[in-house]
Amino acid sequence: MKAVPSEPTLRQRIDEIASAEANVRGVVLQTSAKLLNKHASRLTPCFKDFVPIDGDVSPFDNSGIKKEGVSCTYKLKDGYAPMFAYIGNEGYMLNAELREGKQHCQKGTPEFLRETFNIARKITSQRILLRLDSGNDDAENIRVCRKAKIDFVIKRNLRRESNEQWLLDAQALGNWRTPREGKTVYAGDTLRECNGKHYRVVFEVIERTSKAGGQILQIPTVEVNTWWTSLGPRTATPDEVIAIYHQHGTSE
């Protein structure tokens, strides 16, 4: 570029783009896909030959600003709560959607995922693995993945499920290890129903009878983490699925 516009001129042009009747957003996304296709044609997998797509809401702190859409986010700060999608271990920006701060993270996510998958297929023919946190534990997201033939690891929202019942299931179905005295970790998998169909669920249940410093707990604590996944037992062990999800935090 031989020259760049001044800040006021650039701001005016961006405002004109926002109010244009044409599908400017679609043009921007297509152009972004072309750039990635040209400069990032080979993406690094996160596991075997699976290229990750990480989706997550990132709440902003826009306190003191009265712009349209600024409202209280789940971080209890006034701001926006945009949804982002990144691809590959490199974390290339694949898609982004500005959202009001008060908007629930699942609202609009199925449409966002469809759009994201379409862009991803223009960039790579590699196998894709979607990773989402428990805020996006929704049957519609799973249906979107299945229709697009996208594999997934989605953290489950336990809702009203009992930690004590999960502990009993983990003791019966899982493998266990003791990282330290007073802490037992159970990991394994089972099947759970979602919208009339059964899917593999990987679990990690942690029972603590004492703190790391050695203090004995009067009542043991139970921590439960579970994930929906399309990866079969022959593709990924429970420990591998858990490790795959933990990498999701890198995108944040």
CATH number at residue 186: 3.90.350.10
CA distance 165 to 162: 5
Give which of 157, 2, 133, 164 is closest to 57, Cα–Cα.
133
Residue 209 forms part of a structural domain: yes
pLDDT, tens digit (0-9, with 9 covering 90-100), for 127-174: 999 999 999 999 999 999 999 999 999 999 999 999 999 999 999 999
Q: Residue 28: is its pLDDT beyond 90?
A: no
How many structural domains are present in the chain? Answer: 1
- Token pair for residue 49? 């030959």
Residue 57 forms part of a structural domain: yes
Please give the mean pLDDT across all residues of the chain: 93
Residue 6 forms part of a structural domain: no
β-strand pairing of 175-180 with 183-194: antiparallel
Q: Specify the range with the lowest mean pLDDT, choosing from 14-23, 64-73, 126-135, 184-193.
A: 14-23
The number of beta carbons lying within 10 Å of the beta carbon of residue 32 is 18
Residue 13 forms part of a structural domain: no
CA distance 204 to 227: 9
**Domain range for residue 94?**
22-251
Residue 4 forms part of a structural domain: no
Residue 47 forms part of a structural domain: yes
Question: Tokens 């995922």 identify what position?
Answer: 113
Residue 10 forms part of a structural domain: no
User: Residue 110 has what pLDDT?
Assistant: 97
Identify each DSSP E strand in 49-161 by its residue range. Answer: 50-57, 71-72, 78-79, 83-87, 92-97, 127-132, 151-155
Residue 17 forms part of a structural domain: no
pLDDT-based confidence at residue 81 (cuts at 50, 70, 90) = very high
CA distance 252 to 250: 5
DSSP state for residue 103 in the 8-state scheme: S
198 in Cβ contact with 112 (< 8 Å): no
